[in-house]
Structure 1
Amino acid sequence: MNTLAPASAAQAQHDIVDEFAFFGDWTERYQYLIDLGKQLAPFPDDCKTEDYRVHGCQSMVWLVPSGDAANMHFEAISDSAIVSGLIALVLRVYSDRPAAEIVATEPAFIQDIGLAKHLSPTRSNGLAAMLAKLKAYAAAAL
């Protein structure tokens, strides 16, 4: 995963769409998601609390915000390999951005890479819950 965030959330989404275009089928794309999840930064166990838990996910997901309206940073982790990959994508688009950009950015990449059609209803609900919580943190910072 890139250590330098793309210049904008829109560019990050474009990069994700380009990367997923390399894979011919969803077996390869799921494997790529799992690999992305394995590259998430280590997550502190003391942040695995109810305060940071994302409700609405079937698997356990924790999302920790930091920073301020000018630049918000997020760390997150899941006990599910595929969900951790989804987190990696979400963090590429939304972390280390101004709160106003986070709130204004729709997650078009989910539809653009075909992910919306290939997630179970429970994973789709969990992804929506994670995005809602992340945007709520950004809105609160504004």
Structure 2
Amino acid sequence: MSLSAEASQALESFQQARGWEQRARLLMQWGDRLEPLDDSEKTEANQVHGCESLVWLVARQENGQWHYKAASDARLLRGLLALLLVRVQGLASDELAAVDLGDWFSSLGLERQLSPSRSNGLHAVLLKMTELATAH
């Protein structure tokens, strides 16, 4: 599956990073780029369950492609969400179902930073994306 220009850029940045400190800095920067959610979007219906931190996800479909916005109260998680979003933004429902999260975060060199609970949380976010995509 091919990557969007933004996902390719993320991959290149993280692969060039030397060590965890540089990756952590990059992660925070990506998290700061997340499009903020309005308070009206931070509802129970948009909350992702299965995450230890608070996470909200909003989806809209445009010409058969999915576009997402997400927010979290945890700074590191915002970075991981930004990298997840950059990977899935604009995919069709069937492509979304084929995304291998573990492979994507391994390519970024972040697999060791994904504790089981963080990994489960990100899988919960991807699952919610897929549910929203298949419900439409």
Shorter-normalised TM range: 0.7 to 0.9
Distance 1:106 1:14 in 2: 16
Query: Number of aligned pairs?
Result: 133
CA contact (8 A) 2:14 2:109 kept: no
Partner-residue secondary structure (3-state), 2:60: strand
What residue number does 2:129 align with? 134
Q: Pick the aligned partner of 2:46 from 46, 52, 58.
A: 52
Q: Which sits farther off after the overlay, 22-31 or 11-20? A: 11-20
RMSD: 1.8
TM-score of the superposed pair, with normalisation by structure 1? 0.83
What residue number does 1:76 align with? 70
Partner-residue secondary structure (3-state), 1:11: coil
Residue ranges of structure 1 left out of the alignment (5+ in a row): 1-8
Q: Deviations over 1:8-54 (max 9, x none)?
A: x6324544322211111111101111111111112111111111111
Partner-residue secondary structure (3-state), 1:132: helix
Q: Pick the aligned partner of 2:2 from 7, 10, 29.
A: 10
- 1:62 CA displacement: 0.1
Distance 2:41 2:112 in 1: 32
**Structure 1 stretches of 4+ moved >4 Å:** none
Q: Pick the aligned partner of 1:63 from 57, 65, 84.
A: 57
Instruction: For 1:87, give the aligned amino acid.
Output: L
Q: Which sits farther off after the overlay, 38-47 or 118-127? A: 118-127
Distance 1:119 1:30 in 2: 12
CA contact (8 A) 1:43 1:75 kept: yes
1:82-121 aligned at under 5 Å gives the runs 82-107=76-101, 108-121=103-116
CA contact (8 A) 2:49 2:124 kept: yes
Compared with structure 1, are the counterparts of its residues 99 and 69 closer, same or farther at alpha carbon in structure 2 (3 Å cutoff)? farther
**Identical aligned residues as a percent:** 35
What residue number does 1:4 align with? none
Compared with structure 1, are the counterparts of its residues 109 and 14 closer, same or farther at alpha carbon in structure 2 (3 Å cutoff)? farther
Residue ranges of structure 2 left out of the alignment (5+ in a row): none
Partner-residue secondary structure (3-state), 1:10: coil
TM-score of the superposed pair, with normalisation by structure 2? 0.87
Q: Which sits farther off after the overlay, 83-92 or 117-126? A: 117-126
CA contact (8 A) 1:69 1:138 kept: no
